[in-house]
């Protein structure tokens, strides 16, 4: 009880309001430090295959011998057809697949994001499992173009050769679908949307041929020309749209088979050389987080993951001694494992950060870091709420019987204290009178207490303006969201520049405009700041459970918003505002593209493509979470300038 | 066309020969495109109803006869099926789909009973007994899996009084059909797989087939109504064998890549090289013989079959006349040709092995196959764990005839269709193809949905039938052991009502594939986590309350003021005193 009473008493202590900024900073620090210790052996784990049915690498593979000759022939065939028009190309591919006694169908699709026309044709074939009943299916796919824009000759040829080879086996318990898509992201997206009947039939053709529920999908990218190319490693790409990940078991199975059974090294997140040291692990993890945070499609597999179909893409990299048959046998063994599945992949993790091919951090270990960063906003918001309910400069000791030195008292007097100040002035006649502050005598249950009036004073919070302002700020974000997703590609760059300028000037203009009406008052601006941070904290902690990396990145980039306050002009305020200008979303995008040497236009085009085709939500977070929070914080700071 | 005609003739032939002899068996082989072979086994045994009533079983198996009598079952149809019939490649179904079942086990029967409740209790008796007889989980057909179809099934037999006959129908879509179901099936045959065409039935090959269906049909057949009745039992096995796969020896079944010398390469390709080979389709009919394909030799005729006449020909092969076929046996056999030479039948030798040898051959005339009356496919659309939709696409290939058919769905109770979303849309006309609907909604945990539709599909058009459904959330004990696999919904049964008519009373059927329905599945380790957490909280709370309840509180001023060593000793003495004083 005594402890509780002490805590309650502490509530009234003015010093309590000094803690939150330090606490916020501390949480951010811990959050970042937490992230940095994750690559250590003590905080990460070795991967393991959780689903017993998979039995990775337990089967002998037979994709060799004359299949190699057939593969080479198919590679020449594919090399001959990549430049043909879609219709002829599809006919040729269909013919090749039909020769293997498979059921073949095609699908045309057209997308028009930001005024561009993306249209192509998918060809797919279904191998009906000999004793299967069309309830389950697994997908093997290759796109004609890789993610890097190269021709995927060997990848497509491998799918064709494997289709011919798989047909001879009688052990398939699921149907196998061979998909050759026109391009690496929108083709598979069109196909998987149509497979689940979630497509727009006016632009995307419905599928004529279907099988059962998809249990897994594997993409192959092997951009070696008709004369072959030996590769060094397999790059396993696993990020799905919006940072969703496939079940870790699928990734583990692929790594297990490639490295354990076939002796092919595996790498991830474009870490071509991984010595398993701390900096390399950290770098892998951060690259993975960046990729997850951007939420973009990273390969043909990305489209499948939102439909709860676990999928990965195998990409060959480097110069080495592994040949196409090694990749073929890896895929064969992987499909034998997937074929063993009795249940949908569910045993292993869906939320993880990979440090290298055989080491990961699970959600329980990493989640606190993003949560701590999100919590810093909530704490600041609470502190600002409490502050807004208090007099601006509380008397250090309201119950003191000694008179407060006059100078201090006068300094402390602010507008809201006018009344009390007048009272004080009327009482100044008797300077020797000990009690400076007015008191109230309260009698309750026979006990009498003398309470300083100031303690009992209630400071009303005007809520209308702050609430309206924050809500309007959030709705304002819809304008750039809609604009960037619909502006044609030719005008994207100029609109971005316009947005950059507008975004920088808008807080200043708003602050100037508002200051003409002598609003918002200091208390109202505190409330605006409070509400926007409250929203931000809430959004980010919810987002952390869906897309950890995105939440963390946005959290770190908005962290200064916790520490800026409405000042009284001068250099400090100007510096604060300058900092905020530097971290505004548009500026961050601009400088990030500059630093990573990516064309800004490409990013904008991809973003629009992501919104229209992949169902990417990153823009929503940027324009409806990050931007409003930034805008509110900036207006609060800018108010100090006027 | 020729072939389908001969097939029709053949069925007509067998149909009019009914009831003339007591036991009849026949294996019809039909090579299909893409190196596959359809083998249709048909065994038929008759028992006069007088003998049946007196339990005087001769050819009819006693085990089954007694079950049927006990359960008052007048007509029985039982199906075990694996795989799916590929109508696009293989054409018309064997027996026009009448001897085919939905994947897993399907059972329907006409049961004599005075009330529906009595019929249902007899149905339960029947499924439980059959479950034991066929080593199948038929006992899992309970009220939730039983429906009473209205237009999809008609009795095949002659029943004197149909008023108190009840039709009940149940399916187990997830039942795995395997050798343990074949063995009891063979035991019901008079020759028990030791002689006759049944000696070819081998579990390894049967269950390696691309499609296989085992059927048992029991029905009463009367010459004139109510007179000279016999109880006829028909056992049918249809299987589609992949010839190259079946020919692989049992000890080495791995499809290793062929040596490059054995692959015919397209030398006209510009890139053709010793290490680059574009495989050519050889377009040859593969060589095969019975022993190779079935893994067992055919051990002569079953002695119970007729000795003379067309009924005695137990082995027939239906293919183009130019196909070379050699018979290889030490015994005596006869060969007869019918249906413009497309049907070759053999009378098997007794007690001597018989084999048919077909060499590799390039055929000038293509294999002809009957055109299916309808094509059907069904799939689940949508994603997520709350709702989805079912889409059935039914195609009418005929350019002239509109086809009328009945569509029967029997859905598990946890898949709740919204009937108001049922749409039937035809590609070529705006007329509503839906003529009649029979719907019996599901009751949670009591019975499943029964949906029966009568539809008409115009010539050369595609009918798309869709409806939305909601997925129920199950109690956690209601999940099967492999809960994350999903739940199987049985195939839809389609019966063609017109204008095509079957020559006998079997009807024309086709079935779609089953569906896999993924329901929201809990993390089954969660209950244990919850139990552990709750127990901890309980223990903490209980500890504190227990402490408060049993502790004796004494006011500070009530404690005797004795302190020090003396006080302790005095206290002990007092306690001992109190104890002895009480005693």
Distance CA A387, CA A233 (A): 58
Residues of A in contact with B273 (CB under 8 A): 72
3-state secondary structure B127-195: HHHHHHHHCCCHHHCCHHHEECCCCCCCCCCCCCCCCCEEEEEEEECCCCCCHHHHHHHHHCCCCCCCC
CA angle B315, B317, B323 (to 5 degrees): 140
- Residue A601 phi/psi, 5-degree rounding, is -60, -40
**With 50 as the cut, is the pLDDT of residue B8 above it?**
no
B109 and B38 in a common domain = yes
* Residue B48, min C-alpha distance to chain A (Å): 39
Same domain, B305 and B390: no
Structure confidence at residue B551 (pLDDT): 84
Establish how many alpha carbons lie within 13 A of residue A483's alpha carbon, considering only the half-sphere containing its beta carbon.
14
pLDDT per position as a tens digit, B210-223:
899 999 999 998 88
Q: Closest CB to B485: pick one of A132, A197, A343.
A: A343
- pLDDT surpasses 90 at B429: no
Same structural domain for residues B111 and B211? yes
Q: Which residues of B touch A67 (CB under 8 A)?
A: 257
The pLDDT of residue A237 is 95
Contact B208 A170 (CB under 8 A): yes
Locate the chain B residue with the closest alpha carbon to A345.
Answer: B484
Whether B482 has a pLDDT exceeding 90, the answer reads no
Chain-chain contact of A134 with B84 (C-beta, under 8 angstroms): yes
Tens digits of residue pLDDT in A349-367: 999 999 999 999 999 899 9
pLDDT digits (tens, 9 = 90+) for B175-222: 888 889 999 999 999 888 888 889 999 888 888 888 999 999 999 988
Answer yes or no: do B347 and B494 share one domain.
no
Distance from CA of B579 to the nearest CA of A (A): 38
Chain A residue with CA closest to B265: the answer is A70
> With an 8 Å Cβ cutoff, are A168 and B255 in contact?
yes
Q: Which residue among A67, A74, A344 places its CB closest to the CB of B486?
A: A344
Residues of B in contact with A213 (CB under 8 A): 380, 486, 516, 518
**Closest-CA distance of chain A to residue B197, Å:** 24
Residue A204: predicted pLDDT: 94
Query: What pLDDT was estimated at residue B560?
Result: 66
Residue A402's pLDDT is: 57
Helix (H, G, I), strand (E, B) or coil at A150: coil
Interchain CB distance below 8 Å, B82 and A72:
no
Give the separation between CA A325 and CA A346, rounded to whole angstroms.
30
The reply to whether B363 falls in a domain is no
The model's confidence at residue A411, banded by pLDDT at 50, 70 and 90, is very low
The residue of B81, B253, B257, B464 whose CB has the most chain A CBs within 10 angstroms, and thus the best one to mutate to test that interface, is B257
Same domain, B233 and B212: yes
Contact A212 B256 (CB under 8 A): no
Q: Is the dihedral of CA A342, A348, A349, A352 positive or negative?
A: negative
Question: Interface pTM (ipTM) of the complex?
Answer: 0.86
Q: Which residues of B touch A73 (CB under 8 A)?
A: 265-266, 269, 271-272, 276-279
Which residues on A lie below 8 Å from B103 (Cβ)?
Answer: 133
Average pLDDT, chain B: 87
Predicted pLDDT at B5: 42
DSSP A352: E
Q: Is B18 on the interface with A (CB under 8 A)?
A: no
Provide the pLDDT for residue B251.
81
pLDDT of amino acid A609: 92
In A, residues 99-138, which contact B (CB 8 Å cutoff)? Answer: 99, 101, 103, 128, 130-136
Q: How confident is the model at residue A431 (pLDDT cuts 50, 70, 90)?
A: very low
CA nearest to A135, candidates B177, B359, B499, B514: B514
Chain A from 61 to 100: CB within 8 A of any B CB = 62-70, 72-74, 76-77, 99
The answer to whether residue B260 is domain-embedded is no
The residue with tokens 């400088």 is A591
Would the pLDDT of B581 be above 50?
yes
For residue A392, the model assigns a pLDDT of: 60
Shortest Cα distance, chain B CAs vs residue A260, angstroms: 23
**Within a domain: residue B365?**
no
The shortest CB-CB distance from B277 to any of A70, A130, A211 is to A70
Q: Are B489 and B392 in contact (CB under 8 A)?
A: no
Distances (CA, A) of A52 to A58, A290, A322, A344: 12, 32, 29, 13
B445 and B501 share a domain? Answer: yes
B427 pLDDT band, cuts 50/70/90, is confident
The dihedral sign for the CA sequence A176, A181, A183, A185: negative
* Pairing verdict, β B449-457 and B434-440: antiparallel
Q: Is residue B259 part of a domain?
A: no
The tens digit of pLDDT for each residue in A547-600 reads: 999 999 999 999 999 999 888 878 889 999 999 999 999 999 999 999 999 899
Region B436-458: mean pLDDT is 93
Domain locations in chain A as residue ranges: 24-40+369-389+462-639, 52-357, 401-425+435-453
Overall average pLDDT of the B552-574 stretch: 77
pLDDT at A517: 84
Q: Tell whether the model's pLDDT for residue A434 goes beyond 70.
A: no
Would an 8 Å CB–CB cutoff place A344 in contact with chain B? yes
Percent of chain A's residues with pLDDT above 90: 70
- Window from A66-75, A404-413, A478-487 with minimum mean pLDDT: A404-413
Q: Is residue A454 pLDDT above 80, yes or no?
A: no
* CATH number, domain with residue B439: 2.60.40.740
Q: Are residues B211 and B313 in the same domain?
A: yes
Contact B232, B46 (CB under 8 A): yes
Both B297 and B338 in one domain: the answer is yes
Tell me which of B571 and A31 has the higher pLDDT: A31
d(CA B393, CA B511): 12
Return the minimum-mean-pLDDT range out of A395-404, A458-467, A632-641.
A395-404
Farthest-apart Cα atoms in chain B, separation:
125
Residues of chain B numbered 493-552 and touching chain A (CB < 8 Å)? 513-516, 518, 521
Q: Does B332 touch chain A (CB under 8 A)?
A: no
B311 & B404 share domain: no
Is B71's pLDDT higher than 60?
A: yes
Pick the CATH number of A52-357 from 1.10.3720.10, 3.40.50.720, 3.30.1330.40, 3.40.630.10: 3.40.630.10
From the CA atom positions of chain A, what is the Rg in Å? 31
d(CA B57, CA A535): 82
Tell me the pLDDT of chain A averaged across its residues: 88
Q: What pLDDT score does B555 carry?
A: 79
| B 24-83 residues with CB < 8 A to A | 34, 82-83
pLDDT per residue over B112-154, tens digit each?
999 999 999 999 999 999 999 999 999 999 999 999 999 999 9
Same domain for B536 and B444? no
Q: Does A358 touch chain B (CB under 8 A)?
A: no
Q: What is the pLDDT of residue B162?
A: 65
Q: Does A206 touch chain B (CB under 8 A)?
A: no
Chain B positions touching A135 (Cβ under 8 A) are: 486, 488, 513-516
In terms of CA atoms, which chain B residue is nearest residue A341? B485
Across the range B281-294, mean pLDDT stands at 86
Same domain assignment for residues B124 and B32: yes
CA distance B173 to B345: 36
Q: How much is the average pLDDT of B426-439?
A: 90
CB contact A324 to B (< 8 Å): no
pLDDT at A401: 58
Q: With helix as H, strand as E and coil as C, how does B307-330 read?
A: CCCHHHEEEEEECCCCCCCEEEEC
Distance in angstroms (rounded) separating the CA atoms of residues A288 and B368? 58
Determine, for residues B263 and A69 on separate chains, whether the beta-carbon distance falls below 8 Å: yes
**Rounded to an integer, what distance in angstroms lies between the CA atom of residue A219 and that of residue A192?**
13
Its domain, for residue B562, covers 529-582
Beta strands in A147-304 (DSSP E): 175-181, 213-221, 231-237, 265-267
Phi then psi for A336, rounded to 5 degrees?
A: -65, -40
Residue B11's pLDDT is what?
45
Specify whether B449 is located in the same domain as B302.
Answer: no
pLDDT at A432: 43
**Residues of chain B contacting A62 with CB distance shorter than 8 Å:** 254-257
A67, A271 Cβ separation under 8 angstroms: no
Is B176 part of the contact surface with chain A (CB cutoff 8 Å)? no
Is the Cβ pair A133, B513 closer than 8 Å?
Answer: yes
The reply to whether residue A213 touches residue B486, judged by beta carbons under 8 angstroms, is: yes
CB atoms within 10 A of CB B530: 10
Domain count, chain B: 3
Mind listing the pLDDT tens digit for each residue in A365-392? 999 999 999 999 999 999 999 888 876 6
Which chain B residue has its CA at the smallest distance from A168's CA?
A: B255
Spell out a b/e string for A378-403, using b for 16 or more CB atoms within 10 Å of the CB, else e.
Answer: bbbbebbbebbeebbeebeebeeeee
Q: CB distance B271–A70 less than 8 Å?
A: no
Whether the CB of B320 is below 8 Å from some CB of chain A: the reply is: no
Taking the alpha carbons at both ends of chain A, their separation in whole angstroms is: 49
Question: Does B280 contact A at CB distance below 8 Å?
Answer: no
- Report chain A residues whose CB lies below 8 A from the CB of B518: 213, 344
The residues, any chain, with a CB within 8 Å of residue A536's CB and separated by 6 or more, are A377, A558, A561, A625, A629
What pTM value is reported for the model?
Answer: 0.88
CB contact B132 to A (< 8 Å):
no
- Residue A36: band (very low, low, confident or very high) from pLDDT cuts 50, 70, 90: very high
């Amino acid at each position: 009880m005594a402890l509780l009473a002490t805590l309650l008493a502490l509530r009234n202590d003015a010093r309590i309001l000094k803690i939150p900024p330090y606490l916020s900073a501390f949480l951010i620090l811990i959050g970042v430090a937490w992230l940095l210790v994750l690559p250590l052996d003590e905080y990460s784990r070795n991967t393991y295959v959780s689903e017993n049915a998979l039995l990775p690498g337990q089967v002998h593979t037979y994709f060799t011998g004359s299949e190699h000759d057939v593969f080479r022939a198919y590679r020449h065939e594919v090399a001959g057809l990549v430049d043909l028009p879609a219709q002829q190309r599809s006919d040729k591919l269909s013919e090749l697949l039909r020769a293997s006694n498979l059921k073949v169908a095609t699908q045309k699709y057209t997308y028009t994001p930001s005024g561009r026309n993306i249209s192509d044709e998918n060809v797919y074939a279904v191998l009906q499992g000999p004793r299967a009943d069309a309830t389950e299916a697994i997908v093997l796919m290759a796109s004609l173009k890789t993610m890097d824009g190269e021709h995927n000759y060997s990848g497509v040829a491998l799918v064709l050769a494997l289709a011919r080879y798989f047909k001879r086996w009688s052990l398939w318990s699921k149907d196998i679908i061979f998909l050759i898509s026109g391009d690496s992201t929108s083709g598979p997206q069109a196909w998987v949307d149509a497979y689940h009947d979630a497509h727009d039939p006016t632009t995307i053709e419905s599928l004529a041929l279907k099988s059962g529920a998809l249990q897994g999908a594997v993409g192959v990218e092997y951009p070696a020309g008709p004369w072959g190319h030996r590769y060094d490693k397999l790059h396993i790409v696993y990020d799905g749209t919006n940072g969703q990940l496939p079940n870790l078991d699928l990734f583990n199975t692929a790594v297990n088979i490639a490295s354990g059974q076939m002796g092919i090294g595996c790498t991830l997140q474009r870490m071509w050389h991984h010595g398993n040291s701390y900096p390399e692990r950290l770098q892998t993890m951060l690259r993975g987080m960046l990729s997850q945070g951007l939420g973009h499609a990273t390969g043909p597999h990305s489209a499948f993951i939102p439909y709860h179909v676990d999928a990965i893409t195998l990409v060959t990299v480097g110069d080495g001694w592994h040949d196409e048959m090694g990749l073929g046998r890896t895929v064969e063994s992987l499909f034998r494992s997937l074929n063993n599945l009795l249940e949908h992949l569910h045993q292993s993790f869906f939320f993880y950060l990979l440090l290298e091919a055989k080491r990961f951090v699970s959600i329980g270990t990493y989640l606190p870091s993003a949560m701590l960063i999100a919590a810093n906003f909530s704490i600041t918001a609470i502190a600002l709420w409490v502050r807004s309910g208090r007099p601006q400069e509380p008397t250090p000791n309201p119950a003191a019987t000694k008179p407060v030195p006059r100078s201090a008292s006068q300094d402390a007097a602010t507008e809201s204290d006018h009344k009390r100040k007048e009272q004080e002035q009327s009482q100044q006649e008797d300077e020797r009178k000990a009690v400076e502050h007015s008191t109230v005598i309260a009698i309750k249950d026979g006990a009498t207490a003398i309470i300083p009036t100031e303690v009992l004073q209630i400071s009303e919070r005007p809520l209308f303006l702050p609430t309206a302002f924050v809500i309007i700020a959030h709705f304002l974000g819809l304008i750039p969201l809609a604009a960037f997703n619909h502006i044609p590609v030719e005008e994207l760059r100029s609109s971005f520049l316009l947005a950059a300028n507008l975004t920088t000037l808008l807080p200043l203009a708003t602050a100037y405009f508002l200051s003409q009406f002598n609003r918002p008052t200091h208390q109202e601006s505190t409330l605006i700041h409070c509400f926007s941070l409250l929203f931000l904290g809430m959004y980010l902690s919810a987002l952390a459970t869906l897309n950890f990396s995105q939440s963390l990145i946005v959290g770190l980039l908005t962290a200064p918003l916790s520490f800026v306050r409405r000042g009284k002009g001068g250099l400090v305020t100007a510096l604060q505002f300058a900092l905020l200008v530097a971290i505004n979303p548009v500026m961050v995008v601009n400088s990030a593209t500059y630093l990573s040497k990516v064309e800004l236009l490409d990013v904008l085009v991809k973003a629009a493509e992501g919104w229209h085709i992949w169902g990417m939500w990153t823009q929503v977070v940027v324009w409806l979470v990050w931007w409003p929070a930034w805008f509110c914080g900036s207006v609060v700071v800018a108010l100090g300038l006027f | 066309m020729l072939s389908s005609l001969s097939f029709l003739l053949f069925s007509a032939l067998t149909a009019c020969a009914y009831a003339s002899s007591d036991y009849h068996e026949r294996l019809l082989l039909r090579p299909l495109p893409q190196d596959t072979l359809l083998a249709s086994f048909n065994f038929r045994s008759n028992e006069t109803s007088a003998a049946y009533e007196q339990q005087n079983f001769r050819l009819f198996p006693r085990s089954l006869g007694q079950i049927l009598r006990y359960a008052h079952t007048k007509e029985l149809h039982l199906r075990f099926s694996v795989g799916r019939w590929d109508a696009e490649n293989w054409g018309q179904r064997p027996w026009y789909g009448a001897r085919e079942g939905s994947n897993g086990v399907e059972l329907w029967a006409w049961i004599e009973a005075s009330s529906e409740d009595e019929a249902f209790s007899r149905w339960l008796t029947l499924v439980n007994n059959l479950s034991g007889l066929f080593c199948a989980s038929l006992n899992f057909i309970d009220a939730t899996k039983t429906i009473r179809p209205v237009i999809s099934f008609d009795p095949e037999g002659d029943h004197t009084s149909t008023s108190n006959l009840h039709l009940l129908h149940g399916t187990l879509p997830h039942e795995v059909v395997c050798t343990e179901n074949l063995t009891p099936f063979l035991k019901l045959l008079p020759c028990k797989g030791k002689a006759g065409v049944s000696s070819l039935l081998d579990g390894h090959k049967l269950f390696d087939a691309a499609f296989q269906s085992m059927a048992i049909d029991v029905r009463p057949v009367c010459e004139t109504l109510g007179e000279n009745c016999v109880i006829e039992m028909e056992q049918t096995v249809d299987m589609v064998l992949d010839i190259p796969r079946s020919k692989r020896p049992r000890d080495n079944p791995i499809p290793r890549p062929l040596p490059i010398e054995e692959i015919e390469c397209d030398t006209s390709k510009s890139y053709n090289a010793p290490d680059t080979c574009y495989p050519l389709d050889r377009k040859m009919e593969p060589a095969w013989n019975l022993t190779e394909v079935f893994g067992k030799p055919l051990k002569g005729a079953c002695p119970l079959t007729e000795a003379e006449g067309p009924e005695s020909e137990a082995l027939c092969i239906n293919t183009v006349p130019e196909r070379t076929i050699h018979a290889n046996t030490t015994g005596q056999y006869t060969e007869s040709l019918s249906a413009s030479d497309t049907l070759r039948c053999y009378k098997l030798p007794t007690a001597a092995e018989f084999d048919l040898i077909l060499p590799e051959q390039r055929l000038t005339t293509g294999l002809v196959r009957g055109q299916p009356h309808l094509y059907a496919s069904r799939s689940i659309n949508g994603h997520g764990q709350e709702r989805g939709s079912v889409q059935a696409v039914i195609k009418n290939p005929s350019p002239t005839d509109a086809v009328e058919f009945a569509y029967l769905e029997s859905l598990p109770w946890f898949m709740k269709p919204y009937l108001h979303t049922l749409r039937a849309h035809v590609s070529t006309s705006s007329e509503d193809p839906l003529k009649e609907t029979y719907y019996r909604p599901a009751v949670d945990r009591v019975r499943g949905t029964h949906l029966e539709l009568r539809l008409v599909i115009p010539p050369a058009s595609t009918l798309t039938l869709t409806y939305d459904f909601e997925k129920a959330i199950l109690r956690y004990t209601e999940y099967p052991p492999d809960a994350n696999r999903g739940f199987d919904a049985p195939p839809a049964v389609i019966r063609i009502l017109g204008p095509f008519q079957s020559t006998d009373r079997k009807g024309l059927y086709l079935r779609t594939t089953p569906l896999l329905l993924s329901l929201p599945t809990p993390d089954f380790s969660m209950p244990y986590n919850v139990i552990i957490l709750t127990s901890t909280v309980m223990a903490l709370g209980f500890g504190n309350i227990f402490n408060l309840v049993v502790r004796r509180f004494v006011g500070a001023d009530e404690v005797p003021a004795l302190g020090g060593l003396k006080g302790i000793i005095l206290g002990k003495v007092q306690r001992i005193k109190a104890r002895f004083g009480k005693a």
